[in-house]
Amino acid sequence: VIHSRRVIRSLRVALMAAALGLVHVASVGAEPLAPAGHVEIDLHAQDGATPALDRMPDQATRLAPPTDAERALLYPIYGWPLERPLHDGNMIVNYVDEVATTSFQDYMGGNWTYDGHRGTDISLYDFRAMDRGMHIVSAADGQVTTAIYANLRDRNCAVPDDPTLNYLGVSNGDGTLTFYYHLRANSMTVNLGETVKKGDVLALVGSSGFSNGPHLHFEPADYLSGGYKARDPWNGTLNPLPSLWAAQEPYAGIAHVRIYDIGVTTRAAAGGNLAAIDYCSVAAEGMQQPAVFGNHEPYVAVWFHLQGLGGDTYRVEVRRPNGTLYASVNNPMFVDVHGGYNLWYWSWDGNVTGPDFGTWTAKVLVGGVTQQQTSFVVGVSTVYGPRFTPRSGRSFRLDGTTVQRDTLHHSALGGTVTYSLLNAPPFVTLTDSILTIGPVSNQPTRSLYFQALATDAATRQDTAWYHIVDPTMPREETVSVPLLARSDGLTLAPNRPNPFASATTLTYSVAKAGRVRLAIYDLSGRRVRELLDAWRPALAEESVTWNARDDRGQPVPGGVYFCRLSMGGRQLTRRLIRLD
């Protein structure tokens, strides 16, 4: 239930001294900088909290407990309980503890569990991902027997004062049950007593109850022996029972390093002290990346989510617009990281001058292959775009009589913003920063999704993701169609302004992670400007401004141009008109 955490702050003094010795580094041809410091945060390791405080439902007991042979035949065959496959926005951080004593071992005899843990913990990367919404889907057919959804404390990051859990119990029809824990408040899309089919949407991932981050605790169990007995669905050396998975995923405890997400951040956006990142307020929220990274920032910091094993290595690189290496580190991992963050930072102010302004890249490589990459624009002063905070999404459940409200807030690091709604139904209104949700919907199905936008003076935007549940409406059947306002792959909004004189802004989004390219072509089909060629995480949205200059920095003549967004063989094109 809990994935507890241990924070290792290994400020590498020797490396910092080395970096400080390189205060004025020429921009081209210089040796790459050594890191100024390094922080590791592992979500998994023990902190001695009490998983036994999870609430268990009362269930009737059966008179004659099943024999071992009978038990081996019980339970359904499960599909993956999230809308997206393992490693696509989610990762396993804990398995079931197979050992009754105070030691702990997972089904393969490894340490990917903690004492007394009865389920499988599947984590999202951070609370921003939770806000965007990750559907929990029913792993098997069944009937809802427990539905607890209204505890609003769904963003727990440390041991909470109110441990009440939002959770679902589903009867599998053979005397066994499947439990889904830590749900996002009011996100439950099924009602008590309803039947569900494998793949049906049940709720959204949250962090209610004893939980240190957004995750689903998935737990098959039964009362057939008199008391509560959890069933480990994973078959392995310490669990001879048959696997309950239709396709059992490989054991995470032997999977080598995998980098999940990446970002570049400033000291201010990281909370003011890069050597001591606060897990809950900063790391778990995802660190804000500025729209422009000023050259007087004291440090450039690169963070990433990862999983991996002691002995694995990765390489971090920061490269200038001309491709030369500014900074790098080759890091051997000393311990297993079951799910966490690494952050590296390097000296910056004084090392970066006008010729270095432009689009930089930061990447993490494993075995010479780029696993994650991001780009960031470097200029004369740091500018932050809008960012919803302390959260960027919420679920509401209608009861037919109560008017509900939410107040939008944005990060103080950005400029002034205006709020607006996108895809909102008529019973949702926005006045200044106050969102009002009427008691009665006109939505056709049980769930409705809409967005709030924060837009700054330069039309940079951030999106907050809202979800409304009307329990009186018919249920969605499956998650086979994307429910959040995600495109089938790519969107490219009309450029603004168009026509334009000196600059125009292009906004795109991608549904899946991958390499995104955005370029400008002239009427003859010749590429005049590459705006972006970078890896982007799933659900990325980004605005890119074209300053009407070509790749050499020369202004282009007035006329018609095309912008092409491409990713994995798919392309979208927009027509742009530059005025003379």
Question: Nearest approach, Cβ of 161 to Zn ion (angstroms)?
Answer: 20
CB 194 within 8 A of CB 168: no
Whether the bond between 390 and the residue before it is cis, its omega within 30 degrees of 0, is yes
Closest to Zn ion by CB, 105 vs 347, is: 105
**136 touches Zn ion by CB under 5 A:** no
Closest to Zn ion by CB, 98 vs 406, is: 98
For residue 249, count CB atoms less than 10 angstroms from its CB and return exposed for 0-12, middle for 13-18, buried for 19 or more.
Answer: middle
Closest to Zn ion by CB, 37 vs 51, is: 51
Give the span between the Cα atoms of 541 and 507, in whole angstroms.
7
Question: Nearest approach, Cβ of 184 to Zn ion (angstroms)?
Answer: 16
**43 touches Zn ion by CB under 5 A:** no
Question: Nearest approach, Cβ of 158 to Zn ion (angstroms)?
Answer: 16
Closest to Zn ion by CB, 182 vs 529, is: 182
Piece of the chain touching Zn ion by CB under 5 A; list 118-126, 264-272, 477-485, 524-532: 118-126
Q: Which of residues 213-272 bind Zn ion (CB under 5 A)?
A: 217
Q: How far is CA 565 from CA 491, 506, 517, 520, 573, in A?
A: 9, 10, 6, 9, 6
Q: Which of residues 200-219 bind Zn ion (CB under 5 A)?
A: 217
Question: Nearest approach, Cβ of 119 to Zn ion (angstroms)?
Answer: 5
Q: In what order do the strands lie in the sheet with 417-422?
A: 393-397, 461-469, 447-456, 417-422
- Strands (E) in 273-333, as ranges, are 293-294, 299-308, 313-319, 325-332
**121 touches Zn ion by CB under 5 A:** yes
Question: Nearest approach, Cβ of 80 to Zn ion (angstroms)?
Answer: 16
Closest to Zn ion by CB, 207 vs 328, is: 207
**386 touches Zn ion by CB under 5 A:** no
What the block records as the tokens of 389 is: 């905070």
What the block records as the tokens of 159 is: 């041991």
Closest to Zn ion by CB, 217 vs 446, is: 217
The correct pick among 81, 89, 110, 119 for binding Zn ion (CB under 5 A) is 119
Give the span between the Cα atoms of 479 and 475, in whole angstroms.
11
In the complex, which residue's CB is closest to Zn ion?
A: 217
For residue 240, count CB atoms less than 10 angstroms from its CB and return exposed for 0-12, middle for 13-18, buried for 19 or more.
Answer: exposed
**Which residues, other chains included, contact 26 with Cβ-Cβ below 8 Å and sequence gap of 6+?**
none
Question: Nearest approach, Cβ of 181 to Zn ion (angstroms)?
Answer: 7
Q: CA 470, 389, 49, 307 torsion: positive or negative? A: positive
What the block records as the tokens of 102 is: 């105070």
**199 touches Zn ion by CB under 5 A:** no
Question: Nearest approach, Cβ of 340 to Zn ion (angstroms)?
Answer: 16
**98 touches Zn ion by CB under 5 A:** no
Question: Nearest approach, Cβ of 114 to Zn ion (angstroms)?
Answer: 9
Nearest-10 Cα torsion for 2, 388, 202, 116: 0
Piece of the chain touching Zn ion by CB under 5 A; list 58-66, 117-125, 192-200, 484-492: 117-125
Q: What are phi and psi of 513, to 5 degrees?
A: -70, 150
At residue 294, what is the residue type?
G
Question: Nearest approach, Cβ of 92 to Zn ion (angstroms)?
Answer: 11
Beta bridge pairs of residue 265: 301
Closest to Zn ion by CB, 52 vs 560, is: 52
Report how many residues bind Zn ion under the rule CB under 5 A.
Answer: 4
**110 touches Zn ion by CB under 5 A:** no
Closest to Zn ion by CB, 95 vs 293, is: 95
Question: Nearest approach, Cβ of 121 to Zn ion (angstroms)?
Answer: 4
Footprint of Zn ion (CB under 5 A): 1, 119, 121, 217
